Amino acid sequence: MFRAKKIALAVVMAAATMSMAQATEVEVFGRFDTGMLYTANAGDSKDSFQMTSGHSTGSRWGIKATEKLNADWSVRAHLESGFDSDTGELGYSGRMFGRQMTLSLKNKSFGEIAFGRSGKPLSGSDQFTRIRPFTPFGVTYGDAGLLFYGKGGRIDNAVFYQSPKFAGFTVLAAASTQTSNQEEAEWTDNTRFWGGSIDWKGENIGFMIGSEQIVKNAEDKADGDENPTTLYLGAYYDFGVAKLMAGYQRGWNLDRIGCLQRVKFNGSSAQVQNFDANFYMLGAHIRAGKGTIRLSAIYMDGENSKDLRKSEGIGRDASYWSLGAGYTYPFSKRTSIYGVVAHLHGEDGIAKSNKATNDDGDLTRYQVAVGLVHKF
């Protein structure tokens, strides 16, 4: 009798395990991008030649889990970790899942709502962004990538919504109560965010409009910072042998010069505050054999609310332009190689000092990169 109960219990547990396995789909995925990067600087910064990770696409691994509640509803978990494939170190300040960490509820008719950390709608990063088809290099590939404000940015404590596709339209929205780390008790002590986009895609044509705003906390506003706000317009047309793309971004009260995190003049940081700018992009994908030629031209022109470096006679105006060309070739569905060259050059106030630099070296520079990508 006791043995029969044990057998029955084992059968029930096995059945339950099989039922759970059928109800929850688990996928382990990843991507490695390792290459070599040569940077030639025109100023005092030294040239560099180094192995690099994630030049074309961030190296990562992750887990996706989906449970179907019924025919229409499902729960999804997405955990994604970034790392350097040349050293094995974790990215994103050592966060275990710094790229994306979301739990979502999805309905076939109403769309998906997710909670946690992910890329902003116009960042070009992660699941909840729609901008990549409108750019020739996405937001990666170094100076050839989309050098617009806000590229690659992620937010914590966020809610994301993506609608199903309806008559060619897709709506995306996001909001955050504190863009980085845990919220403060006082609402105004948090740096908040809102943004979204609407895009329409036809058989060979697409359009997109989006906007984002970072709401500065009380301390930053007391220092005179306004809320950085952007408006983005994008379009593409696919002729079959070639796909042409165009983009425009208007930025108000930006807290950096375009996409550049820091800019220095003769070793001293530029005084960037409430920078207004216009960004323009033209790009193309041209099919060449099994691979794709990528071309990009970007121009940014802006004005700061005060002199960028008054002690050195550098005024409020600043601009830069970049040219990029690359080729990607797939060996298979999972493995590809790439090569890319890019030139970034500063104009106006930035060009008045030959030592104007950002964290990666001199602002007037050339980059050449080759790499291998494998996905699983």
Summarised one tens digit per residue, pLDDT across range 303-329 is 999 999 888 888 999 999 999 999 999
Query: Would you place residue 358 in the very low, low, confident or very high pLDDT band (cuts 50, 70, 90)?
Result: confident
Asked if the model's pLDDT at residue 50 lies above 50, the reply is yes
Please report whether residue 186 resides in a domain.
yes
- Domain-embedded: residue 69: no
- Describe the strand order of the beta sheet including 268-269 as a list of residue ranges: 268-269, 264-265, 357-358, 361-362
Closest CA to 131 of 29, 215, 252, 245: 245
Q: Does the pLDDT at position 11 exceed 80?
A: no
* pLDDT band for position 23 (cuts 50, 70, 90): low
The residue-averaged pLDDT of 125-142 equals 93
Cα separation of 67 and 335, whole Å?
Answer: 30
Binned at pLDDT 50, 70 and 90, residue 354 comes out as low
What does pLDDT average to over the chain?
A: 91
DSSP H or E segment with residue 370: strand 365-375
Report pLDDT for 353.
67
pLDDT greater than 60 at residue 14: no
pLDDT reported for residue 16: 41
Find where tokens 């190689």 sit.
Answer: 337
Task: Specify the pLDDT at position 352.
Answer: 72
State the pLDDT at residue 111.
98
Task: Report whether pLDDT(20) > 50.
Answer: no
pLDDT tens-digit map of 193-235: 999 999 999 999 999 999 999 999 999 999 999 999 999 999 9
What does pTM read for this prediction?
0.89
Percent of the chain with pLDDT over 70: 92
Residue 85 predicted with pLDDT over 90: yes
Q: Is the confidence at residue 287, as pLDDT, over 60?
A: yes
86 in any annotated domain: no
Tell the burial category of 258 from Cβ atoms under 10 Å away from its Cβ (0-12, 13-18, 19+).
Answer: buried
Is residue 275, in this structure, part of any structural domain at all? Answer: yes
Q: What is the pLDDT of residue 351?
A: 79
Does residue 41 form part of some domain? yes
Range of the domain at 274: 36-53+119-375
In a domain, 219, yes or no: yes
Q: Note the helical H segments in the chain.
A: 2-23, 218-222, 348-351
For residue 79, list its beta bridge partners: 63, 101
Higher pLDDT: 343 or 261? It is 343
CATH code for the domain in which residue 170 is found = 2.40.160
Gap between the Cα atoms of 146 and 137, Å rounded: 7
Q: Is residue 223 part of a domain?
A: yes
Question: What would the mean pLDDT of 125-140 be, rounded to a whole number?
Answer: 93
Is the pLDDT assigned to residue 32 strictly greater than 70? yes
Can you tell me the distance from the alpha carbon of 339 to that of 326, in angstroms, rounded to the nearest whole number?
5
- Residue 110 lies inside a defined structural domain of this protein: no
Domain count, the chain: 1
Task: Give residue 360's pLDDT.
Answer: 64
